[in-house]
């Protein structure tokens, strides 16, 4: 059955919320619309009863009103209409589709990580091989996994601060005697290798591996 | 061509429109105003006279015609009242005891029915009709959508109608 468009104004009229032209046009309407008038008469009895006996009728509600407090987030969500909920649902589905369905197809070159203004790392890994655990004597070599031809490696050895640094195209390097003499038993060291391409671009950085030279007995 | 006013069954008009005119008069003057029924009778008399004189020419609906007469009569009544009250206050007649008892009984039955409603319906009637919050405010207070508020109000009234009939 088709609803009369004025039906929505019945409550506002009875609660004296209509004014001026709006009120007059509604009054003129109910003089012409038996359906609205019938509903209004019925609603008027309901509202009068509620107004006259409200204090008695809703005494329990007044007492429990405090307990029925609704959190702000729930109130915010509740203000969504079903249409808005549907829009949110469609948007979420589209987002999931893009993130898991479309984006993985467009995997571009390896990500680039900016270390400083001049250093850029492309996501290739550089694995250190020896020494990676504590050693009994001062190591004669440092060794790592090769990244192929035309790669230059820069090794750095730290003991608090940088104590030695060298460059090689090999995947291992001998520690100079002078440096070895500075590596005393019982001390902790860390070393790291950076790989550069033939054009001098940083292409990989190893993690910093720590080791200790066991103290002499 | 000679003008012929629309044919109106006056008895039918009076039966149909007396409650509508009464509603409007009571709403405008207040149901406690003792002479509201006199105003209604005056309006009905005026309507009959005007229709008989051919003043209703069918340019608007009969409803709008009666609405206009009712509104003017109410304005006149309020003006007269203001003049009378300025000179001598009129004694207030007692309300009709039969009618008063009848409407009181109807209100009592309805109130009892409201009392028996589930809390979710009672609270929506309380906030919307008693505390006069807007639909949006009621929705916020209860953590439901405004559409749900309307649905609950409609359903509560449907239940009350059913409870009162049985």
CB B164 within 8 Å of CB B109: yes
Give mean pLDDT, residues B54-77: 90
Domain ranges of chain A: 5-69, 74-107, 114-212
Phi, psi at residue A142, to the nearest 5°? Answer: -115, 135
Residue of higher predicted confidence among A60 and A167: A167
- Note whether A49 contacts B: Cβ–Cβ < 8 A: yes
Which residue of B lies nearest to A58 if distances are taken between CA atoms?
B126
pLDDT of residue B5: 59
Give yes or no for residue B54 having a pLDDT over 90: no
Give mean pLDDT, residues A78-104: 86
pLDDT of residue B84: 65
How buried is A146 (Cβ within 10 angstroms: 0-12 exposed, 13-18 middle, 19+ buried)? middle
How buried is A105 (Cβ within 10 angstroms: 0-12 exposed, 13-18 middle, 19+ buried)? exposed
Domain A114-212: assigned CATH number: 2.60.40.10
Give me the residues of B, 61-100, that contact A with CB < 8 A. Answer: 61, 63-64, 66-67, 70-71
Give mean pLDDT, residues A149-174: 89
CB B166 within 8 Å of CB A93: no
Give mean pLDDT, residues B59-65: 90
Q: What kind and span of H or E run contains A121?
A: strand A120-122
What tokens were used for B47? 């309507």
pLDDT of residue A138: 87
Do A53 and B67 make contact, defined as CB atoms within 8 angstroms? no
Domain ranges of chain B: 10-87, 97-165
DSSP B126-160: IIIIIS---HHHHHHHHTS-HHHHHHHHHHHHHHH
pLDDT of residue A23: 92
Task: State the ipTM, two decimals.
Answer: 0.84
CB A153 within 8 Å of CB A171: yes
Distance CA A58, CA B123 (A): 8
Q: B-chain residues within 8 Å CB-CB of A81?
A: 145-147
Do B143 and A56 make contact, defined as CB atoms within 8 angstroms? no
Q: A-chain residues within 8 Å CB-CB of B161?
A: 42
- B45-68 core/surface letters (b: 16 or more CB in 10 A; e: else): ebbeeebeeeebeeeeebbebbbe
pLDDT digits (tens, 9 = 90+) for B66-112: 999 999 999 998 888 776 666 655 555 445 555 678 888 888 899 99
Which residue of A lies nearest to B108 if distances are taken between CA atoms?
A49
Do A32 and B61 make contact, defined as CB atoms within 8 angstroms? yes
Give mean pLDDT, residues A153-181: 90
Average pLDDT, chain A: 83
pTM above 0.80, yes or no: no
Tokens 């979710």 sit at which residue?
B120
Q: A-chain residues within 8 Å CB-CB of B144?
A: 78
pLDDT of residue B151: 94
pLDDT digits (tens, 9 = 90+) for B116-143: 999 999 999 999 999 999 999 999 999 9
Distance CA A153, CA A143 (A): 11
Give the fold, CATH level 3, of B10-87: Rna Polymerase Sigma Factor; Chain: A (1.10.1740)
Q: Which of A3, A76, A10, A92 is nearest to B145 (CA)?
A: A76
- Paired with B69 in beta bridges are none
pLDDT digits (tens, 9 = 90+) for A180-190: 888 888 888 99
User: Strands (DSSP E) along chain A, which ranges?
Assistant: 112-114, 120-122, 128-130, 141-144, 152-159, 161-168, 172-174, 188-196, 202-205, 209-212
- Note whether A57 contacts B: Cβ–Cβ < 8 A: yes
- Paired with A188 in beta bridges are A212
Tokens 């300025």 sit at which residue?
B86
| Per-residue CA distances from B32 to A128, B95, B98 (Å) | 98, 8, 15
pLDDT digits (tens, 9 = 90+) for A24-80: 999 999 999 999 999 999 999 999 899 888 888 888 776 666 565 666 667 667 667
Domain B97-165: assigned CATH number: 1.10.10.10
- Strand, coil or helix: A1: coil
Q: B-chain residues within 8 Å CB-CB of A47?
A: 129
- Note whether B109 contacts A: Cβ–Cβ < 8 A: no
pLDDT of residue B68: 93
Residue of higher predicted confidence among A8 and B2: A8
pLDDT of residue B117: 92
CB B89 within 8 Å of CB B34: no
């Amino acid at each position: 059955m088709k609803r009369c468009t004025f039906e929505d104004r019945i409550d506002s009229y009875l609660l004296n919320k209509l004014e001026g032209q709006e009120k007059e046009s509604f009054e003129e309407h109910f003089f012409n619309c038996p359906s609205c008038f019938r509903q209004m008469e019925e609603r008027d009895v309901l509202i009068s009863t509620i107004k006259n006996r409200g204090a008695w009728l809703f005494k329990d509600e007044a007492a429990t009103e405090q307990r029925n407090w609704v959190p702000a987030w729930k109130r915010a969500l509740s203000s969504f209409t079903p249409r808005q909920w549907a829009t949110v649902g469609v948007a979420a589905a589209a987002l999931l589709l893009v993130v898991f369905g479309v984006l993985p197809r467009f995997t571009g070159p390896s990500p680039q990580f900016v270390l400083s203004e001049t250093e850029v790392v492309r996501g290739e890994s550089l694995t250190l091989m020896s020494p990676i655990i504590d050693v009994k004597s001062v190591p004669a070599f440092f060794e790592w996994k090769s990244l192929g031809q035309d790669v230059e490696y820069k090794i750095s050895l730290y003991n608090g601060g940088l104590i030695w640094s060298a460059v090689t195209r090999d995947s291992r390097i001998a520690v100079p005697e002078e440096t070895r003499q500075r590596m005393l038993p019982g001390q902790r060291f860390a070393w790291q290798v950076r790989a550069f391409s033939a054009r001098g671009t940083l292409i990989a950085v190893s993690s910093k591996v720590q080791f200790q030279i066991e103290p002499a007995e | 061509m000679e003008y012929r006013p629309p044919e109106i069954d006056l008895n039918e008009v009076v039966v149909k429109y007396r409650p509508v005119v009464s509603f409007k008069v009571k709403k405008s003057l207040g149901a406690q105003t003792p002479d509201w029924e006199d105003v209604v009778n005056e309006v009905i008399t005026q309507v009959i006279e005007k229709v008989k004189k051919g003043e209703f020419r069918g340019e608007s609906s009969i409803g709008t015609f009666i609405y206009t007469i009712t509104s003017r009569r109410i304005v006149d009544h309020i003006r007269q009242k203001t003049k009378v009250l300025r000179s001598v206050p009129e004694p207030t007649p007692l309300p009709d005891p039969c009618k008063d008892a009848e409407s009181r009984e109807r209100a009592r039955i309805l109130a009892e029915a409201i009392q028996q409603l589930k809390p979710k319906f009672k609270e929506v009637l309380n906030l919307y009709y008693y505390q006069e919050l807007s639909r949006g405010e009621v929705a916020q207070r209860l953590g439901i959508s405004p559409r749900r508020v309307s649905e609950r109000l409609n359903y509560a009234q449907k239940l009350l109608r059913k409870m009162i009939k049985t």
